[in-house]
Structure 1
Amino acid sequence: MPEPQVYVIHENSEWLPPIAAALDAEGVPWSPWLLDGGGIDLTTAPPPGVFWSRMSASAHTRGHTAAVEQARGVLSWLEAHGRRVVNGRRVLELELSKVDQLVALQAAGIDVPRTVAVSGNEALLAAAAEFPTPFLTKHNRGGKGLGVARYDSVDELAVALKDPYLDVPVDGITLLQEYLPPAGGVITRVEIVGGEFLYALTADVVRGGFQLCPADACAVDGSDDASLFAQRENFDDPIVGRYLDFAGSAGIEVAGIEFLETSDGRKVTYDINTNTNYNPDVEAAAPRSGPKAAAKFLSRLFNQTDTARTDTATATTDGTAR
């Protein structure tokens, strides 16, 4: 059997370098596990180690539509064999479905936007006719803000739906959602690793629109040199504790949770990113490094897992356990 290590399960190598550098610096043995074809023998046991799922909801936008289904199978296989998985099978479903996210957040008593989930353009137009304007549409399985659009009328939406080049949701589900202008023109993203709050960052929606993935690989073409992202200094709000409680109960161990503040004081949570990416500009100013925190968390888990494996092997050898 191979020696234990940390496996980083992913489908997008462009997002890997910050994590790779942090894991190398931490000195933990690790390997990337790229879900781009290949297979698993279900009659065998997985290799020993710790497995971190970084599967992204936007995989289909990079031509990796099958990677999502592959990830479902891999995570089920790992968990069936008792492997330690960070952001496991249940968390993957939250990553892949905004409906799932909003339902879970509401159940936890966290304020979310009014949302109707519909299938098909006819149903979408019918729902929009009963919805206050302006409103947003977005894909249930999105990522990077792709497919998000604001409409000021049902007629405007009807015209847009006739565009043959309009992006359609990969899972067939469109969300109709209330439009809430964020106070100050920014949204806030709360970074969590291993049950701890790292920091909060803001994203400029005036310049960035809805494409607010905070990674170099997500840079919006045509944007100016000034970063859309900044650390939100001295952020101390009760919503952090609520997010930590929510993440703990949902099994989410690495995440960036996004909310906006309205002019009338609401804090409305609208997105859970269980595949957190870290912006280098924010990293340079933040009190704690996201990749370093993730690497230390994985190293801790790895050492615990490897120690348990060694203890079991020793006990078996000296005859005290079978």
Structure 2
Amino acid sequence: MTASDDARAPQEAMRDLPPSLAVIASRITVEEKRILDELDRRRVPYDVLDPRTAVFRLDRPRAPWSVALAREVSHHRSLTVARILEHAGVTVVSSARAIALCGDKLLTTLALQAAGIPVPRCLVTAVPQAALDALDDFGYPSVVKPLTGSWGRQVARLADRDAAEAVLELREALPDPQQRITYVQEYVDKPGRDIRALVFGTEVIGAVYRVSASWRTNTARDARTLPCPLTPELVSLVTATAAAIGPGAYGIDVLEDADGRLLVNEVNHTPQFRGAAEALDVDLAGRYVDYLTQQLVRN
């Protein structure tokens, strides 16, 4: 069987069957629309499951789907639904464990360090004041981040103690105790860019540079995307990173430090790929659905 035959096999196996796939999403962005369009093109039946209106009877732990794709924007809603569906025997892409790890920067860091993955130096304190006292030894500049969040929101660069005092005083006043847990990373002086690599299952689909004049290089903040070569070092790093999190579809953010070392910054379990799709000669929605339909055939 050729590679193209392999790609068509899940499509033919799923044709004209009742829906056994749920797409968990409360908001249909460009990425979700491209995934749904590709499912429609292949005639793969699916249901869109909106967590805001879904009701689960825990005394009836059954679900009509065998596989669910988690594309929910809310971390807490996504994790809740994934756990319930897995309890009912549904395979969730990516798993509840992966959502829990990727959605919490502390848990991500602990999992990657345990696997020997290089990450930026970091410190964590239960209250902001303790972080302030520790930063003189940790070093400036540094970056403070919320444990849960994306798109560079609520992330601040601390240039010196005066900046740290101002930012951490605001964090001290936040109402949620979890928001006062303070996660600080070293500031990595990257060369005006970072790397976003897409890994579906065990396969590295592609990578892009995200280039910006800002120190935050998120595409949500208008960073430009350019093709990034898949060097053996990069492929080995992001493959090991995905293995440390578990089976799933990931966007892995990698930093290059001044010495050229690669450090894994974050792992996204619902990767956006609009910018990457514009830069790469790869059908990313199609490859995403290839991976998804493989899970359907296995289940």
Fold conserved between structures, TM > 0.5: yes
1:175 partnered with 2:197: no
1:21 aligns with 2:37: yes
1:231 aligned to which of 203, 227, 231: 227
Query: C-alpha distance in 1, partners of 2:66/2:19?
Result: 4
Deviation at 1:131, TM superposition (A): 1.8
CA separation in 2, counterparts of 1:26 and 1:180? 43
Change (3 A) 1:192 1:161: same
1:192 aligns with 2:210: no
Tell me if structure 2 keeps the 8 A contact 1:252–1:274: no
Deviation at 1:134, TM superposition (A): 1.0
Give the gaps of 5 or more residues in structure 1. Answer: 60-66, 306-322
- Helix, strand or coil at the partner of 1:42: coil
Structure 1 counterpart of 2:55, which letter?
A: G
Q: How far apart in 1 are the matches of 2:27 and 2:102?
A: 15
- Structure 2 residue aligned with 1:210: 216
Decide whether aligned partners of structure 1 residues 146 and 284 sit closer, same or farther in structure 2, where only a CA change above 3 A counts. Answer: closer
The structure with the largest alpha-carbon Rg is 1
SS at match of 1:150: strand
Q: 1:107 to 1:257 in 2, by over 3 A?
A: same
For residue 80 of structure 1, what is the amino acid of its counterpart? Answer: H
Indicate if the aligned counterparts of 1:147 and 1:167 stay in contact, CA closer than 8 A: no
Partner of 2:89: 82
Structure 2: segments with no counterpart, 5+ residues: 1-16
Task: Name which of 147, 151, 166 aligns with 1:140.
Answer: 147
TM-score, scaled relative to structure 2 = 0.84
Preserved contact between residue 146 and residue 211 of structure 1 (Cα < 8 Å): no
Aligned with 1:171: secondary structure?
helix
Decide whether aligned partners of structure 1 residues 297 and 190 sit closer, same or farther in structure 2, where only a CA change above 3 A counts: same
The equivalent position to 1:54 in structure 2, one of 71, 74, 96, is 71
1:293 aligns with 2:287: yes
Check whether the contact 1:258–1:272 (CA below 8 A) recurs between aligned residues. yes
TM-superposed deviation, 1:99:
0.7
Answer with 85-94 or 73-82: which moved more: 73-82
User: In the TM superposition, what is the alpha-carbon distance from 1:182 to its structure 2 partner?
Assistant: 0.6
Contact persistence 1:192–1:254 (CA under 8 A): yes
Q: Which amino acid aligns with 2:38?
A: A
Aligned-residue Cα RMSD (Å) equals: 2.5
Match of 1:3 in 2: 18
| Distance 1:22-1:168 versus aligned 2 partners, 3 A rule | farther
* Cα shift at 1:72: 3.2
Residue type matched to 2:240 in 1?
A: D
Distance 1:36 1:81 in 2: 19
| Cα shift readout 1:81-121 (whole Å, capped 9, x = no counterpart) | 32222111101111221111111111111111111112322
User: Is residue 193–residue 217 contact of structure 2 (8 Å, CA) maintained in 1?
Assistant: no
Identity %: 24
**Matches of 1:117 and 1:169 in 2, distance apart?**
17
Correspondence for 2:261? 266
- CA deviation after TM superposition for structure 1 residue 243, in Å: 2.2
Superposed CA deviations along residues 4-44 of structure 1, whole A, max 9, x for unmatched, are 42111123322521222222222211122121144211122
Change (3 A) 1:156 1:229: same
SS at the partner of 2:29?
helix
1:41 corresponds to 2:57: yes
Instruction: Please state how far the C-alpha of 1:199 moved relative to its aligned partner.
Output: 0.6
Preserved CA contact (<8 Å) 1:18 1:291: yes
Report Cα offsets for 1:38-82 as digits up to 9, x if no partner.
4211122111321111234xx3xxxxxxx61x4333322222232
Asked if structure 2 preserves the Cα contact closer than 8 Å seen for 1:141 and 1:170, the reply is no
Letter aligned with residue 283 of structure 1 = A
Name the amino acid aligned to 2:43: G
Say if 2:144 is the partner of 1:118: no
Task: Find out whether 1:32 has 2:48 as its counterpart.
Answer: yes
Partner of 2:296: 302
8 Å Cα contact 1:26-1:295 kept in structure 2: no
